[in-house]
C-alpha cells in the first residue's frame, strides 16, 4: 500500500473521527469523577479531533445526501478543531482556579467537560453535513449546549444572560427551520421528494430551476435565523451578555467558532441563491447589515465597562466586516472575508484567553479594577497588547492583511461604502486604544493574585496571526483562492 493511498484511506474515514471522538468522550466525561483526569481527557479528545480534522486534507472530496467534504469545509473543520484544542488547554488551567475560588464545583465540572465535547461535535456536524436539515440540527445542538454553559455559574447575571440567549437563539433557530422547509418546497419539484431535495450540492446544481420568489423568501428566513447566531446588528442582543457571563473558555469558543458556524450556513445558502439568476441578490442586504453592525459595535465599544463585554462588541464589529466582505462578493472580497474569518477566530480566542487570565488575576472583569497590568503582570500585559494591536488591524499582524484586502476589493466596486467601512474601523480603533492604555498603565489596582496559568495557548495564537501577517504560506494562500472561487 503506497503512502498516498494510505493517506486517502485515513482521510475518507476522518468524518467518523471528527464526529465520533467528541461523541465517545461526552459519554466518558459525563461519568468521570476526577476533574483533573477529565481536563486531561478533554485535551486528549480535542487533540484527537484535530488530528482527524487534519487527516481530512488527505481525503478525496466527496458528497452523498448527508455528508459533504470540499475544500471549504475541510478548512473550517480544521480551524474549528484547532481552536477547540488550544481552548481545551487553556480551559484546564482556567478551571483549576475556578475550583479553588469555589465558583465551580466538581459535579459542575463533569457537566462542563461533557458539554464542551458536545459543543465541538455539534459544530463539526454542522460543517460536514450536506443536508440542510442536518446542519440545522448541528447548529441547534451547539446553541442549546452553549446556553447551558453560559448559565453555568448560576449567578443572577449568568441566568439572565442564558435566558436572553436562549429565547433569542431558539427563536432564530425556529425561523431558520422554517427557511429550511421553504428550501425543501422550492427544491421538491425539481429534485423529487426525500433526502436529495435537501442536499446542498444538489440544490446548488439545480438552483436555476427553482421558483425564485420561494427561494428569496427562504433566504430571508435564513438570514434572520442564522443571522441571529452570527450576531449581526440588529439581531445581536444576546451576544454581549452571553460572552460576559459564561466561563471564559466558552466566550473564546463562542466568538472564535460558533459565530463562524452560523456564517458558514449563510454562505452555503448564498451559493444556492446566486445559482438562480432571478432570485433576490443577497449582496446589498448583507452589506447594509455588515456596515450597521460595524458602526453600532464601534460606538458601543466606548460605553463598555466590562472587559469581556468590550471584546464581545468587538466580535460584532468583526462579524460585520466579514458580512460586508461576503456581501461584496467576487474572488478578492471572498478571499478577504475568508481570511478575516480565520484571523478573527485566532485573534479573538487568543484575546479571550488573555482576558480570562487577567480576570482571574485581578478578580474582576471591570476596567476600573484592571489598571497597571504592565507593572503587576507583565506577561499578560504583553499578551493583551499583542491581541489588541492585532484585532485593531495594525501591521504586521494578519488582521491587517485581511482588512486591507477587504478595503481594497471593496474600493473597486463601491468607493463610498469603502470610506464608510474605513471610518467604522477607525472609530473602533480609537476605543481599543483608549481601553488598552487604561488597562496597561497607571498604578496597579489593589487586588493582584499571582497568575500561574499557562500562557502557551495565547502566544501560540498570536504568533500564528503574526506569522500570517508577515508571510502567508503558499498552500494556505492557494486554499484561500480556491475556496474564494467556490463562493459567489
Partner 1 sequence: MTNLTFDISHFLAGGMLVLSFVILYQDRLSSLLNTFAMQATVLAAAVAWQAQVQHAPHLYVTAVIALVFKAAIIPAALRRIMVKLGIHREIEPVVGVGVTLLAGVGLAALSILLLYPVTADAQAFTREDLAFALAVVLLGLLTMITRHNAISQIIGFMSLENGLVLAATGANGMPLVVEISVAFSILIAFLIFGIFVFRMRERFDTVDIHALDRFRKGRA
Interacting residues toward partner 1 by CB under 8 A: 131, 133-134, 136-137, 140-141, 144, 147-148, 151, 154, 156-157, 159-160, 162-163, 166-167, 170-171, 174-175, 177-178, 180-181, 184-185, 188-189, 193-195, 197-198, 211, 213-214, 216-217
Cell of 276: 438562480
Q: Which of 164, 270 has the CB closer to partner 1? A: 164
Considering only CA atoms, which of 48, 55, 47, 46 is closest in space to residue 74?
A: 55
What does residue 62 show for φ and ψ, rounded to 5 degrees?
Answer: -150, 165
Least CB distance from residue 411 to partner 1, whole Å?
Answer: 37
Q: Distance between CA atoms of 120 and 138, rounded to whole angstroms?
A: 10
Please provide the DSSP assignment of 183-235 as one string: HHHHHHHHH-SSGGGGBHHHHHHHGGGS-HHHHHHHHHHHHHHHHHHHT-TTS
Considering only CA atoms, which of 66, 242, 235 is closest in space to residue 144?
A: 242
Least CB distance from residue 221 to partner 1, whole Å?
Answer: 10
Instruction: Determine how many CB atoms are found less than 10 A away from the CB of residue 64.
Output: 12
Q: Which of 18, 197 has the CB closer to partner 1? A: 197
Q: Distance between CA atoms of 356 and 361, rounded to whole angstroms?
A: 9
Considering only CA atoms, which of 208, 143, 209, 220 is closest in space to residue 182?
A: 220
Q: Which of 152, 421 has the CB closer to partner 1? A: 152
Sequence-distant (6+) residues with CB within 8 A of 382 are none
Least CB distance from residue 138 to partner 1, whole Å?
Answer: 10
Q: Which of 40, 285 has the CB closer to partner 1? A: 285
Q: Distance between CA atoms of 59 and 15, rounded to whole angstroms?
A: 10
Least CB distance from residue 189 to partner 1, whole Å?
Answer: 6
Least CB distance from residue 140 to partner 1, whole Å?
Answer: 6
Q: Which of 247, 350 has the CB closer to partner 1? A: 247
Least CB distance from residue 155 to partner 1, whole Å?
Answer: 8
Least CB distance from residue 410 to partner 1, whole Å?
Answer: 32
Q: Which of 129, 347 has the CB closer to partner 1? A: 129
Instruction: Report DSSP state, residue 62.
Output: E
Q: Distance between CA atoms of 218 and 182, rounded to whole angstroms?
A: 5
Whether 385 and 308 have beta carbons less than 8 Å apart is answered as no
Q: Which of 359, 373 has the CB closer to partner 1? A: 359
Least CB distance from residue 107 to partner 1, whole Å?
Answer: 14
Q: Which of 167, 485 has the CB closer to partner 1? A: 167
**SS3 breakdown of the chain: % helix, strand, coil, rounded to 5?**
80, 0, 15
Amino acid at each position: 500500500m503506497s503512502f498516498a493511498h494510505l493517506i486517502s484511506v485515513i482521510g475518507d474515514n476522518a468524518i467518523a473521527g471528527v464526529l465520533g471522538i467528541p461523541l465517545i468522550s461526552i459519554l466518558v466525561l459525563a461519568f468521570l469523577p476526577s476533574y483533573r483526569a477529565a481536563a486531561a481527557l478533554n485535551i486528549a479528545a480535542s487533540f484527537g479531533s484535530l488530528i482527524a480534522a487534519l487527516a481530512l486534507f488527505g481525503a478525496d472530496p466527496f458528497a452523498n445526501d448527508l455528508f459533504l467534504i470540499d475544500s471549504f469545509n475541510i478548512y473550517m473543520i480544521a480551524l474549528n478543531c484547532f481552536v477547540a484544542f488550544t481552548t481545551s488547554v487553556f480551559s484546564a488551567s482556567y478551571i483549576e482556579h475556578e475550583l479553588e475560588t469555589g465558583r465551580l464545583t466538581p459535579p459542575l465540572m463533569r457537566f462542563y467537560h461533557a458539554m464542551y465535547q458536545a459543543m465541538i461535535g455539534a459544530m463539526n456536524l454542522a460543517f460536514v453535513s450536506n443536508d440542510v436539515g442536518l446542519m440545522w440540527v448541528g447548529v441547534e445542538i451547539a446553541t442549546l449546549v452553549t446556553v447551558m454553559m453560559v448559565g453555568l455559574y448560576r449567578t443572577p447575571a449568568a441566568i439572565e444572560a442564558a435566558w436572553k440567549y436562549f429565547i433569542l437563539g431558539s427563536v432564530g433557530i425556529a425561523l431558520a427551520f422554517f427557511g429550511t422547509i421553504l428550501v425543501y418546497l422550492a427544491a421538491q419539484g425539481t429534485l423529487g421528494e426525500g433526502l436529495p431535495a435537501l442536499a446542498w450540492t444538489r440544490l446548488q446544481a439545480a438552483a436555476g430551476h427553482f421558483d425564485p420568489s420561494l427561494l428569496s423568501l427562504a433566504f430571508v428566513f435564513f438570514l434572520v435565523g442564522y443571522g441571529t447566531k452570527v450576531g449581526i446588528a440588529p439581531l445581536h442582543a444576546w451576544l454581549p451578555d452571553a460572552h460576559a457571563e459564561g466561563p471564559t473558555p466558552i466566550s473564546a469558543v463562542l466568538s472564535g467558532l460558533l459565530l463562524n458556524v452560523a456564517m458558514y450556513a449563510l454562505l452555503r445558502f448564498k451559493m444556492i441563491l446566486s445559482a438562480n439568476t432571478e432570485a433576490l441578490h443577497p449582496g446589498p442586504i448583507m452589506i447594509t447589515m455588515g456596515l450597521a453592525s460595524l458602526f453600532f459595535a464601534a460606538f458601543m465599544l466606548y460605553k463598555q465597562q466590562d472587559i469581556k463585554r468590550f471584546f464581545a462588541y468587538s466580535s460584532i464589529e468583526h462579524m460585520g466586516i466579514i458580512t460586508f466582505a461576503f456581501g461584496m462578493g467576487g474572488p478578492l472580497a471572498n478571499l478577504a472575508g475568508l481570511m478575516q474569518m480565520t484571523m478573527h477566530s485566532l485573534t479573538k480566542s487568543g484575546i479571550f484567553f488573555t482576558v480570562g487570565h487577567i480576570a482571574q488575576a485581578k478578580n474582576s472583569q471591570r476596567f476600573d479594577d484592571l489598571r497597571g497590568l504592565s507593572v503587576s503582570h507583565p506577561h499578560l500585559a504583553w499578551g493583551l497588547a499583542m491581541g489588541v494591536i492585532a484585532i485593531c488591524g495594525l501591521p504586521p499582524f494578519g488582521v491587517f492583511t485581511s482588512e486591507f484586502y477587504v478595503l481594497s476589493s471593496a474600493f473597486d466596486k463601491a468607493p463610498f461604502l469603502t470610506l464608510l467601512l474605513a471610518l467604522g474601523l477607525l472609530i473602533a480603533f480609537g476605543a481599543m486604544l483608549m481601553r488598552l492604555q487604561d488597562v496597561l498603565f497607571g498604578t496597579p489596582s489593589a487586588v493582584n493574585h499571582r497568575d500561574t496559568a499557562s500562557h502557551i495557548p495565547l502566544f501560540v495564537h498570536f504568533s500564528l496571526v503574526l506569522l500570517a501577517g508577515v508571510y502567508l504560506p503558499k498552500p494556505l494562500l492557494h486554499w484561500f483562492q480556491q475556496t474564494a472561487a467556490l463562493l459567489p
